[in-house]
Amino acid sequence: MRSGSDGAAIARVRVVCAAIRDSMSATRSPGAVDGPPGKHVVLILSSDAVAAALLGALVETLGYFVRFYHPPEDPDAALKRERPTVAMVDCGDPTIMRDELFGRARMRGISVVMFGTADALRKVRELAAEHALDTLIMPASLDALDETLRKAVADFC
């Protein structure tokens, strides 16, 4: 259950992102496509409601359907409920960052993209390199977010 302050912050984020989306479509070049074909579902897994809402709004501006994990729901239950193409996982959230989540996501054919603080992402990169894991990590630049999500969708298909 979200607190009142989280709900108000999420509402403000949605208003700001709607304005961004409107300005993006006004400046879009002729022939630009609205989002990926098939409108893939992206599930945001984070206990930080404000961060999840902001990221979700940005992903939505790229044309994806966005769904959210709802604490204290089990993250695996959210994967089953939403059946996403891509799960964006907050790598700094200990309630979500569990080995079995990644195994279950991969068994279901769900691509996983990690996001979080610079320090948390650095640790994920080190662990991935140490264990020779191919891990998609949200880019530092939001301009590259669409490319990362398209790669995740391509891995899914």
For residue range 92-151, list pLDDT tens digits in order: 888 887 767 877 888 888 988 999 888 888 888 887 777 777 778 887 777 788 888 888
Tokens 């990926």: give the residue.
36
CATH number at residue 62: 3.40.50.2300
Supply 77's token pair.
Answer: 């239950």
Give the percent of the chain with pLDDT over 90. Answer: 24
pTM, entire model: 0.71
- Count of structural domains, the chain: 1
Three-class SS state of 10 = helix
Name the pLDDT band for 30 (thresholds 50, 70, 90): very low
Name the pLDDT band for 25 (thresholds 50, 70, 90): very low
pLDDT at residue 137 in the model: 83
Q: Beta-strand (E) ranges in the chain?
A: 41-45, 65-68, 86-90, 111-115, 136-137
pLDDT at residue 19 in the model: 52
Which residue range(s) make up the domain with 142? 4-156
Report the alpha-carbon distance of residue 101 to residue 111 in Å, rounded.
Answer: 12
pLDDT at residue 136 in the model: 82
Name the pLDDT band for 8 (thresholds 50, 70, 90): low
- Please give the mean pLDDT across all residues of the chain: 77
141 Cβ partners below 8 Å, 6+ apart?
Answer: none
